[in-house]
Amino acid sequence: MDPAEIDTGSLRGDFHAMAVREDDCSMEQDTALMRSLVMAVHNSPELLQEFREWLIEPEMAEINKVLQRAVERGEIRADNPAIEYVLHMMLGAFVARNLIDGLPPTQEFLLSYVNAVVLPALGA
């Protein structure tokens, strides 16, 4: 699913759609790529900028759209301090799953994480 097309009508639905837009095999491959990129950007400001433009900024824009729609629907408060940390939470779960559990992130894990951590932090 194209991230720009995600609009299920609810915050939970949008986050669930984001969590399952890639299959488990793709997520495992993406995790390996992310680990390599994270190591490489420490030594290259140019690569860090490219990484931000290629991955971070588009994800931030999509999450901000999802959150803004949730605010407009009254699902979350606009002044909720957790809003600015949603990308940190999602990216952290994606990367830390392997580091902490020795397992790649999966759709099931991300859905559980969204339900247990992200939505409660947002008061949804």
Judge whether 51 lies within some domain: yes
**At 95, which CATH number?**
1.10.357.10
Q: Which domain holds residue 31?
A: 10-122
| Residue 108 identity (one-letter amino acid) | E
**Contact (Cβ atoms closer than 8 angstroms) between residue 118 and residue 89:** yes
pLDDT one-digit tens code per residue, 43-97: 888 988 988 898 889 888 989 999 999 999 999 999 999 999 999 998 888 888 8
Residue 14 neighbours by CB under 8 Å, 6+ apart: 6, 7, 8, 66, 69, 70
Judge whether 5 lies within some domain: no
Judge whether 2 lies within some domain: no
How many domains does the chain divide into?
1
Higher pLDDT, 77 or 1: 77
Query: Is the pLDDT reported for residue 1 higher than 60?
Result: no
pLDDT one-digit tens code per residue, 7-43: 899 999 999 998 888 777 777 777 767 777 777 777 8
What's the pTM value of the predicted model, to 2 decimals? 0.80
| Residue 90 identity (one-letter amino acid) | M
Judge whether 102 lies within some domain: yes
Q: What is the pLDDT of residue 3?
A: 52
Judge whether 1 lies within some domain: no
